[in-house]
Structure 1
Amino acid sequence: MKQQFDLIVVIPIGPNCKLPFIEDTLNSIVHYCSCTYKIVLIDDSNKNYGTILKQRYTDVDVIINKQQYGLLGGLYIALSHAFVYVLDNYGFKALLRMDTDALITGYNPQAEAIQMFEKNPRIGLAGFIKRGKEPRDFAGNPIENYWPMHQITTYALTWRFLSKPKANLALRKLLLKALLNGYAMGENVFGGAYIVSELYLQKLREANMLPDYGIQKIYLEEDHIFGLLTKAIDFEFGDLETGDLPFGVAWRGLPTSPEELYKRGKKIIHSTKRYNDLSETDIRQFFSDKRSMD
């Protein structure tokens, strides 16, 4: 019988990640997740980081890739392998995929997602939903989303299809499936941190999309690919970012100040790399101090 958890946390570790920052992210999970949880690290660092971390965090699982898959479709492949590993070994109510520069900043960040999945099982992928050319985050910041719209249109529907015909044919077939289920061109859930249901991953696997090696070489980011896959299997996106919902995420830095994120009760934030003049060390120290006060 599979061991059951409330939450699985999957974290890919790349070659440019810094070990102290990864440890800080793991410490945030340990501190704030009072539910039952399991952490799974995907070691793509080529620096043995997974083995080093396993010595300190003995309960984590480490998946060491035989090759470095990199970003774009490669990250989609690496995550798919990890998701299959989780499905084979554990049962769970929610799975949080987060980057090493994401941080848990509030208790039980999975709670709202689990309620959402139980209320509507057709929601499979939840977080910050991006639709249209320039959606806005909870803080009112405009977010560029034109790139995936352009890429999908260009490589699936124009003469650029011929640049990689095999991969782009797979993209075109995937796009048609998604469009039939109401897909809006380029819509996705931001990939720095998102939560998925067990049912959603099971359905992706049944559809031979976990992974689909045919789309590995399409020129899209991993979160754009999962956006297409979600609609291709007729699942929906869930909003966990609007207003005081738990996500406070942006691409290259924080969407607003650490103080405001903490005041608003945001539980999952990204990216800790910077905010205005604050460095990653400054931001992490702020939230580490908050943990020590709890």
Structure 2
Amino acid sequence: MPDQIEKISEKCSVILMPIGPNSSPHNITDTIESIYSFSTKDTVLVLVDETRSGLKKAQLSNQMAITICRAEPATGYSVRGRLYTNLSKAIKTVVKNYKFDVLLRMDDDALMIGEGAQNDAAKAFSLDPSIGALGSFRHTCLGHPRDFRPAARRLAFESSWLGMVKSPRLARRLRQIREIALTNGYEPGEHSLGAACFYSHTALVAMLDGGLLGCEDLATTSLCDDQLFGLLVVAAGFRSADFAGDGEPLGLTWRGLPASPSKLVQMNKKIVHSVKSHNGRDEANLRADFARLRQAKMLITAAHITTARQSEP
């Protein structure tokens, strides 16, 4: 099935979301509805389609601009290497077809629950061009330090002599990239949580120009895509920074939600992950709760707009 490219000539904001073979159609449309409700109106949603039957734009949303990039066949890749390859392919498509400053990479079990995250990221990148990635980086939204040691151990093995025996092309390439990144200040294993994180246009272009995206030698890696991208960002000459602290938009943990839906709204979080569980509640229950909160916010916003228009002379 060919890619389905939404043609847009104006400047836009991009959200990149992988859709796995086991993703629920209902949950996908709910996440898209949250994006439509709170993203900037110039947003293009780019879906990496790993479903068996293939996604169709008409079944997803008739309100959003959506591009669908069909995933590569599974042969010749590790599971994680395939995701890296497919994300790389989609990023190439985005850079070729769209004018943008910020790309938000977001899982389909994340939700937007407030406005302004994309503009917040654009401002942060413009204030410090050395930043290439923003996310839940060194600390979680609750202030806990994140542990990079598992990723560091995996990287160390894959670039070791034992890794060379298992996959020589992968080991050699990772060694080269790691040495460049270490020279640039890389801490082994560092990465932003991939559930929802932002990349600058300049960082993505540098990664593409440096041969760091779509590199066939990396297609057999066991590094998670966020762990690998954490390395590639620094190898491209940029750095990652925190975007989940007090007053910042991300409210994420790897498994389950970091707090209840109402608490996350009180914390002024704008993107949350994962809605699969929290304190014994399941995904359907949590999504319904966020949908009610979303509807209430939209009603309040509509009321403010109506009041403002009525007060105009």
Asked if these proteins are the same fold (TM beyond 0.5), I'd say yes
Task: State the shift of 1:57 in Å.
Answer: 5.2
Q: Which residue of 1 aligns with 2:114?
A: 106
Cα distance in 2 for partners of 1:125, 1:40 equals 18
Instruction: Please give the alpha-carbon distance, in whole angstroms, between the structure 2 residues aligned to 1:102 and 1:284.
Output: 10
Task: Call closer, same or farther: CA 1:70–1:47 in 2, change over 3 Å.
Answer: farther
Could you tell me how far apart the structure 1 residues matched to 2:20 and 2:96 are?
A: 24
2:46 aligned partner, one-letter code: V
Which blocks of at least 5 consecutive residues in structure 1 are unaligned? 131-135
Question: Take 1:180 and 1:142, find their aligned partners in 2: how far apart are those partners?
Answer: 24
Judge which range, 47-56 or 167-176, deviates more: 47-56
**Alpha-carbon distance between aligned partners in 2 of 1:279 and 1:139, rounded to the nearest angstrom:** 22
Change (3 A) 1:180 1:143: closer
Cα distance change of structure 1 residues 241 and 196 upon mapping to structure 2, 3 Å threshold? same
Residue in structure 2 matched with residue 39 of structure 1 by the alignment: 45
Q: 1:171 aligns with which of 167, 174, 190?
A: 174
TM-score (norm 2): 0.87
Residue of structure 1 aligned with 2:141, choices 133, 138, 147? 138
1:3 aligns with 2:3: no
Report the CA distance shift for 1:191/1:227 in structure 2 as closer, same or farther (over 3 A).
same
Query: Normalization by structure 1: what TM-score?
Result: 0.92
- Distance, in Å, in 1 between the alignment partners of 2:152 and 2:72 is 33
Distance in structure 1 (CA, Å) of the matches to 2:277 and 2:147: 18
Q: Give how far 1:209 is off.
A: 1.4
Quick one: structure 1 residues 164 and 27, their matched pair in 2 at CA, closer, same or farther if it must change by over 3 Å?
Answer: same
2:124 is matched with 116
Q: Which residue of 2 aligns with 1:49?
A: 55
Shift of 1:143: 4.4
- 2:65 is aligned, of 52, 59, 65, to 59
Q: What's the C-alpha RMSD, in Å, of the aligned pairs?
A: 2.0
Secondary structure at the aligned position of 2:180 is classed as helix
Rg comparison, structure with higher value: 2
State yes or no: 1:278 paired with 2:281.
yes
| CA distance in 1: counterparts of 2:209 and 2:94, whole angstroms | 15
Paired with 2:270 and 2:11, the residues of 1 have a C-alpha distance of 19
Structure-2 residue corresponding to 1:253: 256
Gaps of 5+ in 2: 1-6, 298-313
For residues 73 and 224 of structure 2, the distance between their equivalents in structure 1, rounded to whole angstroms, comes to 19
| Maintained 8 Å contact 2:111/2:272 | yes
Does 2:268 correspond to 1:265?
A: yes
| Change over 3 Å in CA distance of 1:115–1:55 after alignment to 2 | closer
Deviation per CA, 1:206-231, whole angstroms, max 9, x where unpaired? 11112111111122010111111111
Equivalent pairs, count: 289
CA distance in 2, matches of 1:59, 1:73: 28
Instruction: Tell me which residue corresponds to 1:133.
Output: none
Q: Against the structure 1 CA distance between its residues 6 and 70, is the aligned structure 2 distance closer, same or farther, given a 3 Å change threshold?
A: farther
Contact in 2 for aligned 1:124/1:230 (Cα 8 Å): yes
Partner of 2:170: helix, strand, or coil? helix
Q: Is the 8 A contact 2:72 2:82 kept in 1?
A: no
Code of the residue aligned with 2:157 in structure 1: it is T
Q: 1:55 to 1:251 in 2, by over 3 A?
A: closer
Question: Structure 2 matches for 1:211-226, cutoff 5 A?
Answer: 211-226=214-229
CA contact (8 A) 2:159 2:172 kept: yes
Amino acid at match of 1:256: A
Q: Which amino acid aligns with 1:280?
A: E
1:284, 1:51 → 2: CA distance?
Answer: 22
Letter in 2 for 1:78: N
The 2-side partners of 1:37 and 1:92 are apart by 10
Q: Does the alignment pair 1:89 with 2:97?
A: yes
- Find out whether 1:184 has 2:187 as its counterpart: yes
1:22 matched to 2:28: yes
- Asked if residue 129 in structure 1 is aligned to residue 137 in structure 2, the reply is yes
CA distance in 2, matches of 1:109, 1:115: 10
Give secondary structure in 2 for the equivalent of 1:3.
coil
- Do residues 159 (structure 1) and 167 (structure 2) align? no
